[in-house]
Amino acid sequence: MKKYSDEELAKIVKLLINKKFDSADKILSTFNSNIKRKFKSFHKRKLIDNEIEIGSLKIANDIYSDLGRITIEFIKTKLSKELIDKSYFQGIELDEYMDYLNELATELVKDLLQVKYNYIKKQIKKKK
């Protein structure tokens, strides 16, 4: 058992994000249907597969370049209060919480995708 501060736990999550999503292709493969669905929603026309693939890869590249926006401070606000308290006061076996930390890393990137989608959608509405 080892004691971890919320900052140390957040750094672990940040490392997991950087490891799991170290390229736009990995982001695209993880969130493929989500990205494609969001990309198609931007267009009134029925797109061909090639257009969808190119557009989806562009979105994945944008998400990849924005991963730095997921900061240690932000991650700290998303960590479970119970986990923070337990790891700080009693100590934890990190292996027991790796599934949780991996899920959190994935959720944070998914949230970034949603923020990007909302921003693009807002920009499209402004142009109308």
The domain limits of the chain are 6-127
Q: What per-residue confidence (pLDDT) applies to 128? A: 61
Residues 67-88: pLDDT tens digits?
999 999 999 999 999 999 999 9
* DSSP assigned state of 121: H
Q: What per-residue confidence (pLDDT) applies to 127? A: 74
Q: What per-residue confidence (pLDDT) applies to 97? A: 97
Place of tokens 């695209």: 28
Residues in the chain, pLDDT under 70: 128
Displacement of CA 12 from its chain's centroid (Å): 14
CA atoms within 13 A on the CB side of 71: 3
Q: What per-residue confidence (pLDDT) applies to 104? A: 98
CB-based burial, 99-117: b 16+ in 10 Å, e otherwise: eebeebbbebbeebbeebb
Q: Are 14 and 93 in contact (CB under 8 A)?
A: no
Q: What per-residue confidence (pLDDT) applies to 123? A: 85
Residue ranges of E strands in 1-94: none
Q: What per-residue confidence (pLDDT) applies to 36? A: 95
